[in-house]
Structure 1
Amino acid sequence: MTQHRRYAGFDRRELLRRAAFLAAAAGGGTVFGACATGGGGGTTGPTKKPGGKVDANNPFGVDPKAPLDVVIFKGGFSDEYAKYHEAMYKKRYPESEVKHLGTQDITPQLQPRFVNGTPPDVFDNSGAQDLDTATLVNQGQLLDITPLLDAPSWDIPGKKVGETLIEGALDPLLFEDKPYGIPYALNINGLWHDGKLFEENGWETPETWDDLMALGEKTKAEGIPLWTYQGQYPGYMVSVFNPMVQKHGGNEVMKNIDNLEDGAWQQDAVLAVAEAFFELKSKGYIMPGTAGLSHIQSQAAWAQHKAAIIPCGSWLKSELGSQLPGDFEMTIAPTPSLDSSDKLPFDAVPYSPGESFLVPSKAKNTAGGLEFLRIMLSAEGAQKFAELTYTLTIVDGAHDSQDLDSTLESSLELVKAAQAVERIESPKYGTWYRPLQEEIEAAMGVLLTGKLDARGFLERVQKKADAVKKDPKIKKFTR
Structure 2
Amino acid sequence: MTRYSVWATVMVVLIMTIVLGGCPKAPTESDAAPGPAATPVKLNLWTIWNAEPRISALQAIVDQFQQQNPGIQIQVTALEPDAYKTRIGVALGSSAPPDIYFVWSGEKMLRGFIRGGNTADLTEYMQADDAQWQSRIVPASLEPYVHEGRIWGIPFLLQCTFFFYNTEMFDKHGWEIPETWDELIALCRKIKAAGITPIALGNVQKWPAHHFPFVLSQRLLGKQACEAQFDPLGPGDYSAPEFVRALEMFADFYAQGFFNDSPNGTTRENARALFYSGKTAMFYTGTWDLSRLVEGGEAPEEFWDKWDFFDFPALPGGKGNQHALAGSPDGYVISSATPHLEQAVAFLKFMTTVEQARGFVDACQELVQVMGAVSEDNAGPRLAKYARIVEQAEEIAPWMDTMMEASVADEYMNGVQALLDGRMTPKQIMEAVRQRQARVKEQMLAAEQGEPGAGE
SS in 2 for 1:266: coil
Residue number among 97, 109, 123 corresponding to 2:72 in the alignment:
97
Q: Which shows bigger deviation, 188-197 or 237-246?
A: 237-246
8 A contact 1:383–1:402 mirrored in 2: no
Residue number among 122, 133, 149 corresponding to 2:100 in the alignment:
122
8 A contact 2:231–2:404 mirrored in 1: no
1:201 aligns to 2:173 (yes or no)? yes
1:274 aligns to 2:247 (yes or no)? yes
2:409, 2:112 → 1: CA distance? 15
Aligned to 1:378: 353
2:261, 2:195 → 1: CA distance? 12
8 A contact 1:121–1:368 mirrored in 2: no
Aligned to 1:458: 430
1:144, 1:109 → 2: CA distance? 19
Shift of the alpha carbon at 1:65? 1.0
Aligned to 2:7: none
8 A contact 1:303–1:325 mirrored in 2: no
Aligned to 1:147: 124
8 A contact 1:243–1:424 mirrored in 2: no
Shift of the alpha carbon at 1:213? 0.7
Aligned to 2:416: 444
Residue number among 230, 235, 254 corresponding to 2:207 in the alignment:
235
SS in 2 for 1:326: helix
Percent of residue pairs bearing the same amino acid type:
19
8 A contact 1:192–1:309 mirrored in 2: yes
Give 1:439's aligned amino acid: E
Aligned to 1:84: 60
Distance 1:388 1:285, change over 3 A: same
Q: How does 1:138-287 map to 2 (within 5 A)?
A: 138-151=115-128, 160-166=132-138, 168-260=140-232, 264-287=237-260
Shift of the alpha carbon at 1:232? 1.0
Give 2:45's aligned amino acid: V
Distance 1:311 1:149, change over 3 A: farther
SS in 1 for 2:392: helix
**Which structure has the highest helix share of the two?**
2
2:90, 2:150 → 1: CA distance? 24
Distance 1:318 1:61, change over 3 A: closer
1:197, 1:166 → 2: CA distance? 38
Distance 1:61 1:307, change over 3 A: closer
Distance 1:262 1:210, change over 3 A: same
8 A contact 2:316–2:322 mirrored in 1: no
Aligned to 1:49: none
* Count, aligned residues: 406
TM-score (norm 1): 0.74
2:150, 2:157 → 1: CA distance? 20
SS in 1 for 2:200: coil
8 A contact 2:201–2:283 mirrored in 1: yes
* Residue ranges of structure 2 left out of the alignment (5+ in a row): 1-25, 449-456
Aligned to 1:469: 441
Shift of the alpha carbon at 1:150? 2.2
2:408, 2:92 → 1: CA distance? 28
2:27, 2:136 → 1: CA distance? 16
TM-score (norm 2): 0.78
1:262, 1:389 → 2: CA distance? 41
Residue number among 323, 334, 338 corresponding to 1:359 in the alignment:
334
8 A contact 1:317–1:324 mirrored in 2: no
8 A contact 2:315–2:322 mirrored in 1: no
Aligned-pair RMSD on alpha carbons? 3.3
1:432, 1:286 → 2: CA distance? 26
Aligned to 1:322: 298
* Residue ranges of structure 1 left out of the alignment (5+ in a row): 1-54, 153-157
SS in 2 for 1:124: strand
1:396, 1:199 → 2: CA distance? 37
8 A contact 2:219–2:318 mirrored in 1: no
SS in 1 for 2:218: helix
